[in-house]
Amino acid sequence: MSFKSPRIVITGVGLTAPNGNTLSEFRHNLLSGVGGIEKKEIRYMGELLAGVCHYDALKYQTKKEIRVGTRAGSISIYCAREAVADSKVDFASFAKDRIGVYIGTTEHGNVETENEVYAISKFNYDTKYWSHYHNPRTVSNNPAGEVSLNLGITGPAYTIGAACAAGNMGLIHAAQMLRLGEVDFAICGGVSESIHTFGIFAGFKSQNALASHPEPLKASRPFDKARNGIVISEGGALYTLERLDDAIARGAKIYGEIAGYCVNSDASDYVLPNPGRQAECVRKALASAGMAPQDIHIVNTHATATPLGDIQECQAIGAVFANCPDTYINNTKSFIGHCMGAAGALELAGNLPSFDDLTVHPTINVDDLDPQCALPGLVINQPKKVGKVDAILNNSFGMLGINSTLIVKRFTA
């Protein structure tokens, strides 16, 4: 299958991460070893570790919009407006019905449902105290819908539920819609508000998959022998995607080109990953891009610092990139934790500047590398200057066995 026509390019980036609220700030911190994990009080559970975003919500929303909407909606609006501004598109005169909003989410609605149950617990669980905002806040399309309201976008605006593979899925789906001619401009990526729901923490805790560490910034440690689970984070990264001809016609800055992708399913377990299917996902993405493993210069791993999951992903990557001396491997979660639905999109953003600075950001917190994760090319603790970065391969995998691999290449005319 050809993925080459029409060509799709990235023309804008907007993001908020636990360690940065712009691409330049995020990138600077990734190259400086600055993470963003802190202690946070979680309802019913006490003090836990989380990646918290500190963007200025009032930059693009009124106080009332923040009160009525959701955190995922607010993150989406911030990222969307930042991306649109970064793209320098003439948004005011752009046909709003030709703009699509495609936002990946791991889950949506848990936060508001938990809040309402907690609120009515103060009234002896009398449901007449249940908020009339519950339904508009919890519908699955809420984050994308809030973007459409905020920006006056009248084209398709919806979310894509794909667990923690969702961030990549937002971009993949947008590329597909642009290729089909359904829209002329897409705002896409992934967001997460998951740190505001105790259920996500409690679920991982019960699964023995929640990270703990006396030093918050050391807690997220993929590939380290002492890794003990996931640090849950919030965040978002939304991109503007356009067909290449449109981007060139308006003189847009081009961050990179969508080269290929694959989405597949394990069909093997609710939570356990499947390295065979992951490797297949990577290989199919390479095939769709018309690339060999040797053509990839950065592989951004999904690894979440669970004892088994990291090893399994390393098996998958090791199988595909066995003879690739110019392929470097890193992990962004070691800085920001697991941003769930935003993970794939944010982690791609963290690596996009490599096309310009030819530097691979490291995986930090590796004090004692697990030999089962000792992939050749793994960039540990210090950034690595490399000779060439022409293609980035970004993995994101999720529960119920959903896998997504996205390849972005350097734009050349």
Q: Which residues are catalytic?
A: 164, 302, 338
- By CB under 8 A, tell whether 149 contacts another protein: no
- By CB under 8 A, tell whether 131 contacts another protein: yes
Closer by beta carbon to another protein, 117 or else 249: 117
Tell me the C-alpha distance between 208 and 215, whole Å.
Answer: 19
* Segment contacting another protein by CB under 8 A, of 124-132, 205-213, 304-312, 341-349: 124-132
Contacts of 265 (CB under 8 A, 6+ apart): 277, 400, 401, 402, 403
- By CB under 8 A, tell whether 124 contacts another protein: no
90 alpha-carbon distance from chain centroid: 27
Burial letters for 228-245: b for 16+ Cβ neighbours within 10 Å, e otherwise?
bbbbbbbbbbbbbbbbbe
Residue from 128, 180, 270, 388 touching another protein (CB under 8 A): that is: 128
Closer by beta carbon to another protein, 34 or else 68: 68
- By CB under 8 A, tell whether 129 contacts another protein: yes
Nearest distance in Å: CB 146, another protein: 14
What residues between 40 and 69 interact with another protein by CB under 8 A? 62-64, 67-68
Nearest distance in Å: CB 121, another protein: 13
Nearest distance in Å: CB 78, another protein: 17
Residue from 123, 272, 322, 374 touching another protein (CB under 8 A): that is: 123
Nearest distance in Å: CB 356, another protein: 40
Nearest distance in Å: CB 80, another protein: 21
- By CB under 8 A, tell whether 133 contacts another protein: yes
What residues between 245 and 264 interact with another protein by CB under 8 A? none
The count of residues interacting with another protein (CB under 8 A) is: 11
Q: Which stretches of the chain bind another protein, using CB under 8 A?
A: 62-64, 67-68, 123, 128-129, 131-133
